[in-house]
Amino acid sequence: MSPKKKKSDAEGEGAADRGEFAEGARRVYDELLARVGEQAPQPRLGATRRAAELLGDPQRAYPVIHVTGTNGKTSTSRMIESVLRSYGLRTGLMTSPHLTRVNERIVVDGEPISDELLVANWDDIQPYLQMTDGELTAAGEQPLTFFEALTVLAFACFADAPADVVVLEVGMGGEWDSTNVADGQVAVFTPIALDHTQRLGSTVDAIARTKAGIVKPSASVVSASQQPEALAELQRAADLTESTLAVEGTAFGVESTTVAVGGQLITVRGLAGRYDDLLLPLFGDHQAQNAAVAIAAVESFLGSGSQALDHDVLAEGLAAVTSPGRLQIVANEPTILVDAAHNPHGARALAKALDDYFQFGRVVAVLGVLADKDAAGIVRALSGTVQQFVVTSSDSERAVDADELAAIAVGVVGADRVVVETDLVAALRTARDLAEETEGDEPGGVVVTGSITLVGDVLALAQAPGGLS
């Protein structure tokens, strides 16, 4: 078997762009990739701020809801955007990383930006990016990175739309993340846990302190339930900026959740109202909690947390939510799900969702992990739910070698529960065969997890002619 061609580390955790790009859009992506990649972010705001300043500060053309945290950022951002759009607002949404196309990261009014607009806005901002690069180089600094340039591009796209409100997901951390040149009227925190420890700190309080840097003066701060040390940092940031802090479990929260066809029915106590029997077409209690945070964020934005949302409008917005790569079913017989859990906290949420929302007689995981992640912690978190691990690697330079990852998995669950398949297609085939060996009446299932790049690879296979059949 010939070795796989790995994609450049400049792509960060996003999967390679395999869509049939127009020539110009492909050029945009290639020019972004030529810059320093997302996994080597510069702890600075000055570069992005200067490029935005030269462009006339497009990020000030619309109000911003800023979202950070360790897990659940993208799903929560998507929920906020969908509810705001149901209110008739023209929305902008920036998320990262992408799964199959870079266009996914810049969404206007619910749709990924078109190739045409991506190219037009990129070409418009090129002179200003080049001016900023020149100034940075002259000062002995790195030119704008992939993510810094992408952030400026998103700001320009949203101003051009024009957007009534923009939901910005932080790329990494918060304080020095390039999205933080925008001033969020609402700062949103999903659960904070250990991840990216080499860049954000080795303790939860250090990571929370960095993330708390998105809180701006007199902002509304909405947070998921947090570990005490993380909550202390958020409270400190709110006090210093004279902002108001609303925390899940006290100010708002999930009252109930019931498994339903295609997702769940949730009842949420918001900041200003109670919302009964809302359909959320996503699986997992963690998604219900994300929805509660999203609802509180929208309440804070539209009515400063003192005015209840219209139940029907809210229901419409939540019912339309999608979150690709998050407990997403991509094939049947047997069921294959993909989930972007890439740290122990996310893996624990995945395991609980598999136990609570699916009735599999046997669960087989196709696992691929990136080099800077806690692979043993991920396997340990899944070990009570997953009977067999088929270890492989994604199409990324940062993917842990399959044999190395297998050794880690064996150290956690034993050799009898680990199979190695270096080729992804073969890994999926093996996992399906193992899932079909289940005993009893309940069918087996396959979950692909461990890294966003692996999920992106499988989604690309699912979207190709013939799919995963």
pLDDT tens digit sequence for 398-442: 899 999 999 999 999 999 999 999 999 999 999 999 999 877 778
Q: What is d(CA 347, CA 381) in angstroms, rounded to the nearest whole number? A: 6
Q: What is the average pLDDT value for the chain, to the nearest integer?
A: 92
Q: What's at 390, amino acid-wise?
A: V
The domain 328-463 is placed in CATH, from the list 1.10.357.10, 3.40.50.150, 1.10.10.410, 3.90.190.20, at 3.90.190.20
pLDDT higher than threshold 70 for residue 332: yes
pLDDT higher than threshold 90 for residue 116: yes
Query: How many Cα atoms sit within 13 Å of 58 on the Cβ side?
Result: 25
Task: Kindly list the distances between the CA atom of residue 169 and the CA atoms of 75, 188, 257, 323, in Å, as whole numbers in the listed order.
Answer: 10, 9, 26, 14
Report the relative pairing of strands 388-391 and 362-367 from DSSP bridges. Answer: parallel
DSSP state letter for 399: B
Which CATH topology does 9-319 take? UDP-N-acetylmuramoyl-L-alanine:D-glutamate ligase (3.40.1190)
Confidence class of residue 352 from pLDDT cuts 50, 70 and 90? very high
Q: Read off the pLDDT of residues 53-65 as tens digits, 9 standing for 90 and up.
A: 999 999 999 999 9
Q: How many CB atoms lie within 10 A of CB 240?
A: 11
The mean per-residue pLDDT over the stretch 110-136 comes to 96
| pLDDT at site 198 | 65
| pLDDT at site 11 | 41
| pLDDT at site 22 | 67
Are 23 and 31 within 8 A, CB to CB? no
Task: Quickly list DSSP for 160-192.
Answer: HTT-SEEEEE-SSSSTTSGGGGS-EEEEEE---
The tokens describing 82, both together, are: 């969908």
Indicate the length of the chain as a whole number: 469
In the sheet that holds 263-269, the strands lie side by side as 253-260, 263-269, 274-280
The mean per-residue pLDDT over the stretch 210-219 comes to 96
| pLDDT at site 161 | 97
For the chain, which residues make up each domain, given as ranges? 9-319, 328-463
Q: What is d(CA 380, CA 378) in angstroms, rounded to the nearest whole number? A: 5
Q: Read off the pLDDT of residues 240-266 as tens digits, 9 standing for 90 and up.
A: 999 999 999 999 999 999 999 889 999
pLDDT higher than threshold 80 for residue 16: no
| pLDDT at site 384 | 97
Nearest Cα to Cα of residue 327 among 274, 375, 373, 290 = 290
The tokens describing 362, both together, are: 């046997």
Which one has a higher pLDDT value, 4 or 118?
118
pLDDT higher than threshold 80 for residue 231: yes
| pLDDT at site 7 | 46
DSSP state letter for 370: B
Are 247 and 297 within 8 A, CB to CB? no
Q: Is 411 helix (H, G, I), strand (E, B) or coil?
A: helix
The mean per-residue pLDDT over the stretch 386-390 comes to 97
pLDDT higher than threshold 70 for residue 12: no
Tell me if 9-319 shares its fold with 328-463: no
- Return the exposure string of 43-65: e unless at least 16 CB atoms fall within 10 Å of the residue's CB, then b: eebebbbbbbebbeebbebbbbb
| pLDDT at site 26 | 84
Q: What is d(CA 403, CA 401) in angstroms, rounded to the nearest whole number? A: 6
Question: Is the peptide bond between 334 and the residue preceding it cis, with omega within 30 degrees of 0?
Answer: yes
pLDDT higher than threshold 90 for residue 199: no
Confidence class of residue 157 from pLDDT cuts 50, 70 and 90? very high
Q: For residue 407, what are the contacts with CB-CB under 8 A and spacing of at least 6? A: none
pLDDT higher than threshold 80 for residue 330: yes
pLDDT higher than threshold 70 for residue 212: yes
Residue 325 backbone class (left: φ over 0; alpha: ψ -120 to 50; beta: rest): left
Q: Read off the pLDDT of residues 298-329 as tens digits, 9 standing for 90 and up.
A: 999 999 999 999 999 999 999 999 989 999 99
The tokens describing 107, both together, are: 């969404």
Return the H-helix or E-strand segment holding 210: helix 204-211
What is the chain's alpha carbon radius of gyration, rounded to the nearest angstrom? Answer: 22
Nearest Cα to Cα of residue 253 among 215, 282, 277, 225 = 225
Confidence class of residue 193 from pLDDT cuts 50, 70 and 90? confident
